Amino acid sequence: MNNGSKPLIHLEDVTKVFLTDEVETHALSGIHLDIKDGEYVSIAGPSGCGKSTLLSILGLLDTPSGGSYSLKGSEVANLSFPERARIRNREIGFIFQSFNLIGDLTVYENVELPLTYRGMSSGDRKSAVTQALERVGMGHRAKHLPSQLSGGQQQRVAVARALAGKPAILLADEPTGNLDSRNGEAVMELLRELHAAGATICMVTHDPRFAQNADRTVHLFDGRVVEDNRIAA
Amino acid sequence: MWNDIRFGARMLVKTPAFTIIAVLALALGIGASTTTFSVVNALLLKPWPYIQDQNRLLYVSEYFPKVSSEHDNGVAYPDYLDFKKQATTLEGFGTTTAATMILSDGEKPDRYLGAFITADAFSFLGVQPILGRIFRADEDQKGATPVALLGYEVWKNHFGSDANIIDRVVTINGKRVTIVGVMPKGWRFPEACDLWMPLQVEEKENARGNFNFACFAKMKRGVSIEQARAELEAIGTRIAADNPQTNSGVSVRVRFFREEAVSDAKTLTLLLMGAVLFVHLIACANVANLLLARGASRAREIGIRLALGAGRRAIIRQLLAESLVLAVVGSALGLILAVWGIDLVIRAVPVEMPYFIRFDFDWRVFSFSLALGLGSAVLFGLFPALQASRPQLVEAIKEGGRSGIGGGKGQRVRNGLVVAEVALALVLLVGAGLTLRSFLKLQATDIGIDPSHTLTFRVGLPPTQFKQEDAGRFFTALIPQIASIPGVESSAATTSLPASGNIGVSALILEGEAEPRQLQNARLAHGLAITPGYLATCRIPLLRGRDFTLADNKDSQRVVLIDELAAHKWFPHTDPIGRQLAMLEKLGEPPKWATIIGIVRNVVYDRLTERREFPCVYAAQYQNPEWFMSVMLRTKTDPAAFANFARAAVLAVNKEIPIYKVKTMDQVMVESFWERRFFGTLFTVFAGLALFLAAIGLYGVMAYSVRQRTQEIGVRMALGAQAGDVLRLVTGHGIRLVASGLAIGVVFAFFLTKLLQGNLEGVSVHDPLSFGVVSAVLLIVGLLACYLPARTATQLDPVRALRYE
Ligand SMILES: Nc1ncnc2c1ncn2[C@@H]1O[C@H](COP(=O)(O)OP(=O)(O)O)[C@@H](O)[C@H]1O
Ligand SMILES: [Mg+2]
């Protein structure tokens, strides 16, 4: 921080406690994490250690129980619902394990959806959507419905949807979990390309092979960061 | 099968919310349908008590197609004799006229509605007395000993169920009459009579051309109504050929007696039945929707069963068994609701019903509700069962997120059902809106008098017992007595009460005109007699000339008042005051001329639902007294409280004369269109039910859709959807359903409301206000029904929503 390059994401002592049936689950305890602009971070750890919870907080889907979270230098932990929705829409791009394309909408409409929520004009939307689809190599499938695509193709569309709005960071929760290894590799290749072109990515993955793609792997265990490996400078 | 039912019941108990909603919807549908069916049953299906072979019973009348093809005139007595003598297709031919019969042996006189009836009528109708005998065929001959039959209630109440009543001589209308029999309980032929005497007709007073007798006939076994009609028409033609002055242009009408008796109510009743079946359809659509949703959520259980080798048929049988259990419980509850509903219906009828209309339960009503329940079980159960047992569906479920999230399986059918519900509800609401508006218009009708603070009752002297002068003296003495009761402002008597429909049409001629040969060519008017003070008591404005006074009596020059319509129609260019007219009472009698002395504002004497535009001629009661009149008294306070004073005043004038039909003028008004209120109320209740059920259905579908789209909504939130975006997404879906329903409903309503034609006053069947308001109401209710699930959707926790399933 003294060198003047402020981190894109700064988590300080973030905790998350779930209360269910009077049982407290400490999903995250005292997380410190900085992610810089242009970084490619992978998050690893056994099932139930809090990876998805961390991603939800990063993506402003959930609020931390304690600690502070600043995104692009401003505190976002306690924003109102509409403010959080606005930031999700502009700064965050989500990629889910199960693709989560909306079945009633075409490929084009799925990618267009976050731009619609932004109130972008239809002309601007069109160029952004086309560009994003070209980028993931799905331009020729714009009019298809998700059910007409293979899993790998669906996940590429999901990536296009995540990056169409030019977000500050892409958040991916086990993006290859539902894909066979060939399709999984293709998606990982796509992410690597995006990163090479300057995208900031934070990805949860079990697979050590894919974790190697990242600049850095953060290991979680029982809600704590136990290891933070920088692979290359 | 039994096992299926047991398992089905267990599954239903396991999901109480579903079961309660489904059973309630069914119970409402079946309860309303059964209630209405009991009305249909009473009017159209249930056999009349005591009458044998009622499907051979006919109603016969004569009418003038030239005057009105709807209005019957009755059969002239000589024509009646010809029909009776000549018809070979008939086994009996009879007629009856109702009359006030006063039994005056007891401490106080009791007035009953009695009937003079053809002596052999009861024998061909097939009714048996419980005591004594019915009339002998010759007892309507001139000079026969006067005899009477007692109704069961009269026997019980007036004579204390005296077992030795037979051959007792009692006083009826001042005459000594021998009781020969007691009729069974509930027998009040033709409609609501309690005493019967043989009809003796003065032939010279009932010459041809006086169409006074409504007739009934019984066909011989094996004869069709067409054959009977053809024969009677042929006889009618023959009579007309022989008597052209009186009978040319006269037609014979032959209908089934039952059809004639219920014709007024038949259309509305069937419409109501249709409406209530709509309500039930909506209820069934709701249950089908619930079952579809349930089938989807049980897909896994069903998948496992199929995997274990259950045949599709076994699954369907299992699911249908559940529907069956629902239907049976729903029917049972519906029957209970119907018992209560029928009670309400009976209480909503302010007038005395004919004896043959009985709303009570019988096996028909019971079977109807059971059949409706079972039929509905198949209707609402079969499709969901087919859907849920479809193996492809199981595949689809297994595939999970493969084909994208959201949407929801089977959504199209559920949407379709809701659209249909909204459309049906709209049709019903429009129907209700129209009947309600028509009813409100009737209620607001200005009938030309001030009906407030007015008590009315009927009183009179039986013509068989009293002379015309007696009647004149009676009312001359009575009216001042009534007027002197403290709290009474004024009093008067009239032969016909406003808005009562108890008024006939008479022929008349103006000065300088020749007497017409036939009534059908004459000037026609409502004619009535009134006492001085009638205009003041009713607050009818006298527009010109003078009112009657006590000086207008039998010794003075005859005078009449006419109304504006008469003045306008008959004297368009001249002043009517001082001109002469004559009412033609019986054809062949010399006209009695009277001078017009005043013009009054128009007053409605027809029932408000059966208005005819006839001019009115008021005669002076004391110049040509009538025997029976309605007395009216305008009071300073609550008019109903004056009934006993009025009764006492009458007894003070003649202790043998009872009063009856004691009603406030407001009541008379209400009775004047009670069917409209009755059907309007039922229509509105059913439409309200339809609205409620449709709203529940919409809510259910929307709530289910939100549940199914939870994950999709989570994704949308992750992508930055604001609360407003989610709200729009869900309500947008709901509004599309409502709008489609409205569009379809409006088209159907446009055509179906034509069935109401003829049953609406002052409102077009396409009344834009009713259509508009109803659509708006449905839209608002639809919005509300969508809003709740939509709000739930906006409050979803996105993290949880994304984890969903
Ligand atoms: N909404 C929730 N309510 C209660 N407990 C939760 C909730 N979400 C996650 N948890 C718990 O928090 C812990 C971390 O979960 P999660 O972040 O999903 O783990 P991972 O993604 O690493 O497998 C788990 O013990 C999980 O059961
Ligand atoms: Mg996880």
Interatomic CA distance for residues A176 and A156, integer angstroms: 11
pLDDT category at A124 given cuts 50, 70, 90 is very high
Residues in chain A: 233
Least confident of A168-172, B402-406, B670-674, B800-804: B402-406
pLDDT tens track for B127-153: 999 999 999 988 988 888 999 999 999
Q: For the purposes of burial, counting CB atoms within 10 Å of the CB of B758, is it exposed (0-12), middle (13-18) or buried (19 or more)?
A: exposed
Does B673 score more than 50 pLDDT? yes
The tokens describing B482, both together, are 């009534």
Interatomic CA distance for residues B751 and A116, integer angstroms: 43
Which candidate from B402, B722, B802 shows the least CB-CB separation from A117?
Answer: B722
Interatomic CA distance for residues A135 and B509, integer angstroms: 101
Q: Which atom of ligand 1 is nearest to the CA of A50?
A: 17
**Nearest CA owner, ligand 1 atom 2:** A18
> Contact at 8 Å (CB) between B33 and B370?
no
- Phi, psi at residue A215, to the nearest 5°? -70, -25
Ordered alpha helix ranges (H), B576-673: 643-653, 665-671
pLDDT tens track for A91-106: 999 999 988 999 889 9
Kindly tell me the sign of the dihedral angle through the C-alpha atoms of B717, B719, B722, B727.
negative
CA of A142 to the centre of ligand 2 (A): 30
Residue of A nearest to B728 (CA): A117
> Contact at 8 Å (CB) between B250 and B236?
yes
- Phi, psi at residue A221, to the nearest 5°? -145, 125
From the CA of A51, the nearest ligand is 1
- Is B718 close to A103, i.e. CB distance below 8 A? no
**Cα B507 to the center of its chain, rounded Å:** 31
User: What is the ipTM, given to two decimal places?
Assistant: 0.91
pLDDT at B244: 87
Interatomic CA distance for residues B337 and B283, integer angstroms: 15
Q: What is the mean pLDDT of residues B733-756?
A: 93
pLDDT at B401: 44
pLDDT category at A231 given cuts 50, 70, 90 is low
Q: For the purposes of burial, counting CB atoms within 10 Å of the CB of B613, is it exposed (0-12), middle (13-18) or buried (19 or more)?
A: exposed
Question: Residues A184-191: contacts with CB within 8 Å, 24+ apart?
Answer: A184/A152, A184/A210, A186/A152, A186/A156, A187/A152, A187/A155, A187/A156, A187/A159, A188/A213, A190/A136, A190/A156, A190/A159, A191/A40, A191/A159
pLDDT tens track for A137-183: 999 999 999 989 999 999 999 999 999 999 999 999 999 988 888 99
The pTM (predicted TM-score) of the whole model is 0.83
CA of A203 to the centre of ligand 2 (A): 11
Residue of A nearest to B720 (CA): A89
**Chain A residues in contact with chain B using a Cβ-Cβ cutoff of 8 Å:** 56, 59, 61-62, 81-82, 85-86, 88-90, 92, 94, 96, 98-104, 113-114, 117-118, 145-147, 151, 154, 161, 178
Query: What would you measure as the largest C-alpha separation in chain A, in angstroms?
Result: 52
Residues with beta carbon inside 6 Å of ligand 1? A 18, 20, 25, 27, 47-53; B 800
Q: Give me the residue spans of the domains in chain A.
A: 38-61+79-230
Interatomic CA distance for residues B284 and B334, integer angstroms: 13
Q: For residue B719, give the amino acid letter.
A: L
Interatomic CA distance for residues B54 and A124, integer angstroms: 82
Which candidate from A56, A99, A117 shows the least CB-CB separation from B799?
Answer: A56
pLDDT at B463: 84
From A14, A16, A18, A218, give the residue whose CB has the most ligand 1 atoms within 8 Å, as the site to mutate: A18
Beta strand pairing call for B147-150 and B175-182: parallel
pLDDT at B580: 95
Chain A neighbors of B715, CB-CB under 8 A: 94, 96, 100, 102
- Is A117 close to B721, i.e. CB distance below 8 A? yes
pLDDT category at B393 given cuts 50, 70, 90 is very low
Kindly tell me the sign of the dihedral angle through the C-alpha atoms of B497, B500, B502, B506.
positive
Task: Return the H-helix or E-strand segment holding B173.
Answer: none
Does B455 score more than 60 pLDDT? yes
- Is B406 close to A99, i.e. CB distance below 8 A? no
Does A1 score more than 50 pLDDT? no
The tokens describing B653, both together, are 């004038």
Does B42 score more than 60 pLDDT? yes
Does A79 score more than 80 pLDDT? yes
CA of B772 to the centre of ligand 1 (A): 53
* Torsion angle defined by CA atoms of residues A100, A105, A108 and A109, in that order, rounded to the nearest 10 degrees: -100
DSSP B197-214: EE----GGGS-TT-EEE-
Look over chain A and give the mean of its residue pLDDT values, rounded to a whole number: 90
Mutate to test the interface with B, among A16, A28, A115, A117 (most CBs of B within 10 A): A117
Q: Which atom of ligand 1 is nearest to the CA of A204?
A: 21
> Contact at 8 Å (CB) between B802 and A96?
yes
**B 715-744 residues inside an 8 A Cβ radius of A:** 715-723, 725
Position with higher pLDDT, B530 vs B391: B530
- Is B404 close to A101, i.e. CB distance below 8 A? yes
If one counts every other C-beta atom within 10 angstroms of the C-beta of residue B213, the result is: 23
Does B621 score more than 70 pLDDT? yes
pLDDT tens track for B482-515: 999 999 999 999 999 999 998 988 889 999 888 7
pLDDT at B804: 61
Does B243 score more than 80 pLDDT? yes
pLDDT at A3: 44
- Is A88 close to B719, i.e. CB distance below 8 A? yes
If one counts every other C-beta atom within 10 angstroms of the C-beta of residue B546, the result is: 12
Which candidate from B401, B405, B718 shows the least CB-CB separation from A88?
Answer: B718
Which candidate from B405, B725, B798 shows the least CB-CB separation from A103?
Answer: B405
pLDDT at B801: 85
- Is A61 close to B717, i.e. CB distance below 8 A? yes
pLDDT at B394: 44
**Nearest CA owner, ligand 1 atom 18:** A52
**CATH annotation of A38-61+79-230:** 3.40.50.300
pLDDT at A28: 95
pLDDT at B352: 83
Q: What is the mean pLDDT of residues A124-144?
A: 94
Q: What is the mean pLDDT of residues A41-63?
A: 93
pLDDT at B395: 45
If one counts every other C-beta atom within 10 angstroms of the C-beta of residue A52, the result is: 21
3-class DSSP state of B333: helix
From A19, A52, A220, give the residue whose CB has the most ligand 1 atoms within 8 Å, as the site to mutate: A52
Chain B neighbors of A152, CB-CB under 8 A: none
Does A232 score more than 70 pLDDT? no
Which candidate from B403, B716, B802 shows the least CB-CB separation from A147?
Answer: B403
**B 369-408 residues inside an 8 A Cβ radius of A:** 400-407
Chain A contact present for B297, CB below 8 A: no
pLDDT tens track for B556-606: 999 999 999 999 999 999 999 999 999 887 666 788 899 999 999 999 999
> Contact at 8 Å (CB) between A215 and A224?
no
3-class DSSP state of B558: coil
pLDDT at B392: 54
CA of A27 to the centre of ligand 2 (A): 11
CA of B552 to the centre of ligand 1 (A): 104
Q: What is the mean pLDDT of residues B385-398?
A: 61
Does B301 score more than 80 pLDDT? no
Which candidate from A62, A85, A161 shows the least CB-CB separation from B722?
Answer: A85
CA of A173 to the centre of ligand 2 (A): 7
pLDDT category at B409 given cuts 50, 70, 90 is low
pLDDT at B98: 87
The count of CB pairs under 8 A between chains A and B is 82
